[in-house]
Structures are given as C-alpha cells and as structure tokens.
Amino acid sequence: MGKLKSYQEQLQEIVDKGINAAEEQQKKLASKPFDYAEKLESEAREYSVKTLRKRYNGYSDSLFEQLRSLNSRFGNFAGDLVAKLEKEAAEGADAVAEAAEDVSDAAQDAKKSVEPKKPAARKTTARKTTSTAKKTTASA
C-alpha cells in the first residue's frame, strides 16, 4: 500500500505544479493590458490603473492560494483514505491467515480420523511374502 501513498503524493505534486504554471501564465497575460493602460494614464484618478492592478493581483493571488489549500486538503483526504485502505487490507490478511490455519487444523484432524490403522500381522505377512518371492526367484 506504500505505492498508493506514493501515487497520492505524486498526484498532489502534479496538481500543485499545474496551479503554479497556470498562475504564472495568467499573470503574464493579465499584465499586458495593465502595462498599456499605465502608459496611457495621464492624470491621477480616484482609482488609478496601478490601484486596479493591485486589486486584480490581490484577487488573483487569493484565488490561487485557495486552489493550493484545496489541493492540500485533497492530499490530506487521500492520505487518510490510503491509511484506512492499508489498515483494512492488513486486517483482511490477518483474518485470511487465521481462517487458513483453522482449515489446515481441521483437515489434519479429519485426515487422522479417516486413515485406516493397519494390523501388525499383515505387515509381517507382507514381508514374508516378499522374502519368499525372493527365495523362489533365487532358486530358479
């Protein structure tokens, strides 16, 4: 289950890099109109272009910070989920091992109760027959 944690961390890094790249591109694109507006600005107003840019960048920064926070919360959620899955898998493996042990014990008990016990006389007779057959073969 360590692989799941690794995948979760990699996914979180990919999302974070994507957010950073999107933020950088958005700022580059958004700065062009403000650059032109600042060049054209001739007199100070209540809301100058510079003030508008600061506000816009403030909102933009806030948006990307919220996205990063969401990504972090997602990472925490995924980490908790992975931990729960690992715990359940370990508990399941323990339960399977216990059940297998019980089945093995039951099989051994059943095998012992089913195996026929051979009488001692038959074993002796079998040996005599074998040695008699050898003597017959040797004399011929």
In order, the DSSP letters of 86-101 are HHHHHHHHHHHHHHHH
> Which amino acid would we find at residue 113?
S
DSSP code string of 71-82: HHHHHHHHHHHH
Q: What is the largest CA-CA distance in the chain?
A: 135
Cα(72)–Cα(70) distance, integer angstroms: 5
pLDDT in tens, the chain (140 residues): 688 888 888 889 999 999 999 999 999 988 888 887 877 775 556 667 778 888 889 999 999 999 999 999 999 999 999 999 999 999 998 988 898 898 888 888 888 887 776 655 555 555 555 555 555 555 54
If you search the block for the tokens 């729960």, which residue do you land on? 84
Burial of 74 (0-12, 13-18, 19+ CB in 10 A): middle
Quick one: pLDDT at residue 117? 65
86, 1 Cβ separation under 8 angstroms: yes
Residue 32's alpha-carbon distances to 23, 36, 43, 53, 116, in angstroms, are 15, 6, 20, 11, 95
**Beta carbons of 112 and 34 less than 8 angstroms apart:** no
